[in-house]
Chain A
């Protein structure tokens, strides 16, 4: 039973590591700031979350030591990383970083016109 639980926690931690590797590959492969931000703000979040979760469960169930700081880190990361992704892409847009040339549409370019149209 203990061995099986250990294997389960190892799988959770390895899954997190795999997600982090894939998001790093995403940073290299994807074409522009915005699509790279997709890979970072999603995959890295869940990757680190599952590494923390695996660590917490291992120390709780196998070693009998419950550390709530890990859970707190979990919650903080979960709240802050989408905000960071938003702020980075907003700063990039405001400093006129271009979108990838194959992008199909850009509603933010004519922001004022758009706002007027929708408010009518």
Chain B
């Protein structure tokens, strides 16, 4: 992904030299041309066309904001509710993510999800220990985390 981005900027700068005009318009035109060239030559790179990764990152950010608002709503409900009828607890969730930044992003996302907070990560980085505000069904919670976040993060790093 980084290689394609650097190549695209290189093509844009070359376009500025070719057209001998050094402003943002020329850079942007060259960037679009470079994007088109990389799209044509996308099969000669080892990774896929990098706009797809960019789109996955944008989707991840949108999920982040949606979860932040939902989690605030659920915490507000617990705080305002006159009776404190929650069942907190810590459960373990195995994860398939390998790289450090992926695990960091996943645990940040989990911390901002409705009613879950990462307490510890096991030494081999395979299990996340998550404190949940209200444990009703652990498997269901694990499933929802896996389906939404883990998939979105894998989509970015593929």
Q: Footprint of B on A, CB under 8 Å?
A: 19, 22-23, 25-26, 29-32, 34-35, 37-39, 41-43, 45-46, 79, 82-83, 85-86, 89-90, 93, 99-100, 102-108, 111, 114-115, 118-119
Contacts and interface: CB of A to CB of B under 8 A. Distances in A.
Interface stretch (B11-19, B30-38, B122-130): B122-130
Contacts of B122: 111, 115
Interface residues of B, number: 36
Contacts of B90: 99, 103, 105-108
B118 interface: yes
Contact of B135 (A22, A42, A105, A114): A105
Contact of A26 (B69, B79, B118, B120): B79
Interface of B: 68-69, 71-72, 75-76, 78-80, 84, 86-92, 94, 107-108, 111-112, 115, 117-120, 122-124, 126-127, 129, 131, 133, 135
B125 to A, nearest CB: 11
Given A22-B76, A90-B120, A99-B90, A104 B135 contact: yes
Contacts of B76: 19, 22, 43
B75 A38 contact: yes
Nearest to B88: A103
Nearest to B130: A107
Contact of A31 (B84, B112, B135): B84
B9 to A, nearest CB: 22
B124 A115 contact: yes
Secondary structure of the A side of the interface?
A: helix
Given A89-B117, A105-B90, A119 B126 contact: yes
Contacts of A34: 88, 117, 119, 131
A45 B68 contact: yes
A90 B84 CA distance: 24
9 closest residue pairs by CB, A with B: A82-B111, A107-B92, A26-B79, A105-B89, A104-B89, A108-B129, A82-B108, A34-B131, A104-B87
B120 A93 contact: yes
A30 to B, nearest CB: 7
Contacts of A85: 111, 117
B69 A35 contact: no
21 contacts: A19-B76, A26-B75, A26-B79, A29-B79, A29-B84, A31-B84, A32-B88, A35-B133, A38-B115, A41-B117, A42-B75, A46-B68, A82-B111, A85-B111, A93-B119, A102-B87, A105-B89, A108-B92, A111-B120, A118-B127, A119-B124
